[in-house]
Amino acid sequence: MSRVIRPARSTDAGKLGAILSEAVRAHTWKPQLHTGAEDIAHMGDLIDRGWVRVCESDGVVAGFLALDGTSVQSLYVSIAEQGKGIGGALLVQAQEGQERLELWTFQANEDAQRFYRAHGFTAAERKEGAGNEEGLPDVRFTWVKSNKELQNG
């Protein structure tokens, strides 16, 4: 399997929007607030901002990460490609360029919480959903590069 991580291009917006829509449909606890077209437009906006990196697996876009400074805005992997290290590869690359990162995920998304903990993130704050569009309880995770990593980096 060949894997390439690269900056997203405007022509990726359709595939990334489809991955985002697929993720919403896969989580029955998450309300579907946007159409597929709105998801594509949203991804186009994030790409235009220069925030998005995609992971291609054997030439097919399999996942993406949107990073605004030190804030991970989105990390999604297509359902067919989950469990193959794509999300981890995207996250590790984001960590390599930063001394700290933070992100929010939903409290109901226990798989995501396990994933982030496995990559060195810790839960820092819990809220009841007043600050997100879905109105769902969420949790903020933070990651800080260790002193050992700083000395070696």
pTM for this structure?
Answer: 0.89
pLDDT tens per residue across span 63-117: 999 999 999 999 999 999 999 999 999 999 999 989 999 999 989 899 999 999 9
Q: Give the span between the Cα atoms of 17 and 14, in whole angstroms.
A: 5
Who has greater pLDDT, 135 or 43?
43
Residue 35 pLDDT > 60: yes
